[in-house]
Amino acid sequence: MQLVVARIGRAHGIKGEVTVEVRTDEPELRLAPGAVLATEPAGTGPLTIETGRVHSGRLLLRFEGVRDRTAAEALRNTLLIAEVDPTELPEDPEEFYDHQLMDLDVVLADGTEIGRITEITHLPSQDLFIVERPDGSEVMIPFVEEIVTEIDLDEQRAVIDPPPGLIDADQAVIASARDEAGDGAPAEGEDR
């Protein structure tokens, strides 16, 4: 199975190094010197990692045969793809690869079906499950332990305990100072 593990960013310096946007929880394994990675677009690869280092919080890589800034800049926006055994699991039992989570059924603790995971979006603050509901609509579920209470790979399901309004907007709790009087009029000192 092939997994995207990084995207090449801009060139760094004049000796062929590039910044990379890491898309794996195991960069020390997937992006180690000697790793041979397929690419998208395929015509730029395969690429073999020659060296790697962290500089100012960013991972810098140099590939075999890439010796100058011009060659490094030509790789910009290339996706790096690793071949991964589909039965391989992360070392931490609380971590999962995206391919393990795709197509899991999403249910409430009582078994009520919410939908199926169709996409996983990685944001700086958290990951999101994009869940397709039976009616074809989509809902975004933050992948945090307060909401996703269980991942059961054997049963192929993710159990969630969503706060009011996450799944159904009509159940949302409005936290507002408005309408405190209960008559729809603005509270004292409040404009509408």
pTM for the full predicted model: 0.57
Distance CA 67, CA 63 (A): 8
Q: Report the SS3 class of residue 120.
A: strand
pLDDT in tens, the chain (192 residues): 787 889 999 999 999 999 998 887 778 888 899 999 999 998 888 999 999 999 888 899 999 999 999 999 999 999 999 887 777 777 777 778 787 888 999 999 899 999 999 988 877 778 889 999 999 999 999 999 899 999 998 899 999 999 888 887 555 455 554 545 455 555 555 555
Max distance between CA atoms of the chain, in angstroms, equals: 73
Among candidates 108, 90, 110, which has minimal Cα distance to 99? 90
Strand partners for 152: 157
HSE at residue 153, side-chain half, CA atoms within 13 A, is 12
Residues 6+ apart with CB under 8 A from 128: 120, 121, 140, 141, 142, 143
